[in-house]
Amino acid sequence: MRLQFNLFEVKTPPLVGVDISSAAVKLVELADAGRGKYSVERYIIEPLSRDAVVDGNIAKVDEVVDALKQAWGQMGTRIRHVAMALPSSAVISKKLILPADLSEDDMEIQVQAEANQVVPFSLDEVNLDFQVLGPATNSSTDVDVLLAASRKEKIEDRVAVAEAAGLKVSVMDVESNASQTAYEGMMHILPDSARGQTVALIDIGATTMHILVFVDKVMVYSREQSFGGNQLTQEIQRRYGMSFEEAEKLKRKGDTPDKYGVEILQPFTETLALEIGRALQMFVAATSFSRVDYIVLAGGTAILPGLDDAVASRTEASTLVANPFAGMVLSGNIASAKLVADAPALLVACGLAMRRFDTP
């Protein structure tokens, strides 16, 4: 049952985290700085055209390969082993409760039997993996086990891109797992490290908003919503008669017309805050939780001026912008101010880079 690219298998070679999103290829390299700290050695963000990656699928393979090659070359690393991730939408996952005394072979048989029930296509077409999460909540003789399955073609597409760029995939993760890894690394920036608090991590990408809710280090809710930074780009494009690429450059550079803030940016941030508020209302309605204590905003859109204040006002929850590198040592070639600006967009890439420090 265990195939070539397991979703949870521990690997510990020096590696680079590679996140292929709908807007960019993002690479992060971390190193051990000693005394339990990490060092940010290098990172880079290489933009992609609008249709290069669509709904998590690599549509323009040659462009993504070229972007990955260029990013790796410009970053200046010698490490060719990489950790990559599948979109959460490409992975079927289910938590199982199994007897704790099962051998690994017997557990694989049980997991495969369960997979036959939940995977809607032939198991010959998928990669399966599982991970024991720990003791079951309500039973001292059982353990919680996470099953994950993905179509082989989804994994093979990303592996093929990496290999065409001269890289080797050592770890294939899931984006939500990588986000959680990065979140756990920055929990210390929240009051009392968010102990016992309900925290919503909201990653606002170009086209999709990913909502993950945690209590301590346990993910209790996950949802995707179609809303992202491209809607701001499209409004700039419409208002100023620009191409999409020109509007995207204007948005990123910040060299905007005088009334941009009032006429475009402020209405967009208010709309986005409303969407986030609605998403959290759905979380409350679908779970036993009555509120969210903290909101952490991630993704390239998170750094829009005033967005954190607009979200805090709309949701009545303390809101801050993600920095997965908080507390890490910076190498000499990292500009701290630029890293802070780029950090929210590097959440997944940072989480993937942290796989280097997994211990068996």
Element (H, E) at 95: strand 91-99
CATH class of 189-322: alpha beta
- For the chain, give every domain's residue range: 1-89+154-186+323-360, 90-152, 189-322
* Bridge partner residues of 296 (DSSP): 201, 320
Q: Average pLDDT for residues 23-35, to the nearest whole number?
A: 95
Q: Average pLDDT for residues 144-172, to the nearest whole number?
A: 93
**What is the residue whose two structure tokens read 């190193």?**
31
Q: How many C-beta atoms lie closer than 10 Å to residue 240's C-beta? A: 14
Q: What is the pLDDT of residue 360?
A: 57
Q: What is the pLDDT of residue 2?
A: 34
Q: What is the pLDDT of residue 164?
A: 98
What percent of the chain has pLDDT above 70? 96
CATH number assigned to the domain covering 90-152: 3.30.1490.300
Q: Average pLDDT for residues 5-21, to the nearest whole number?
A: 74
Tell me which amino acid residue 337 is. A
Q: What is the pLDDT of residue 4?
A: 38
CATH fold for the domain made of 1-89+154-186+323-360: Nucleotidyltransferase; domain 5 (3.30.420)
Long-range contact list for 111-114, CB < 8 A, 24+ apart?
111/1, 111/145, 111/147, 112/1, 114/147
What is the per-residue pLDDT across 161-217, written as a single tens digit (0 to 9) for each? 999 999 999 999 999 999 999 999 999 999 999 999 999 999 999 999 999 999 998
Domains 1-89+154-186+323-360 and 90-152 share a fold: no
H-only helix segments in the chain: 61-75, 104-118, 152-164, 175-185, 230-240, 244-253, 260, 266-286, 307-315, 336-342, 347-353
What is the per-residue pLDDT across 302-316, written as a single tens digit (0 to 9) for each? 999 999 999 999 999
Provide the edge-to-edge strand list for the sheet that holds 142-151.
Answer: 91-99, 142-151, 126-135
Contact between 33 and 39 (Cβ < 8 Å): yes
Give whole-number Cα distances, 47 to 58, 236, 237, in Å: 14, 18, 18
What is the per-residue pLDDT across 114-129, written as a single tens digit (0 to 9) for each? 888 888 888 888 888 8
Residue 281, both tokens: 């209302």
Burial of residue 254 (CB within 10 Å: 0-12, 13-18, 19+) is exposed
Q: Rounded CA gap, 90 and 50, in Å?
A: 20
Contact between 213 and 201 (Cβ < 8 Å): yes
Look over the chain and give the mean of its residue pLDDT values, rounded to a whole number.
91
**What is the residue whose two structure tokens read 């590198």?**
325
Tell me which amino acid residue 313 is. S
Give whole-number Cα distances, 100 to 6, 107, 149, in Å: 22, 9, 22
Closest CA to 352 of 209, 180, 150: 180
Contact between 311 and 276 (Cβ < 8 Å): yes
Q: What is the pLDDT of residue 253?
A: 75
Q: What is the pLDDT of residue 153?
A: 92
DSSP category for residue 56: T
Contact between 135 and 173 (Cβ < 8 Å): no
- The confidence band for 3, taking pLDDT boundaries of 50, 70 and 90, is very low
Q: What is the pLDDT of residue 133?
A: 81
Element (H, E) at 289: none
Q: How far is CA 314 from the centre of its chain?
A: 24
Length of the chain: 360
- The confidence band for 12, taking pLDDT boundaries of 50, 70 and 90, is low
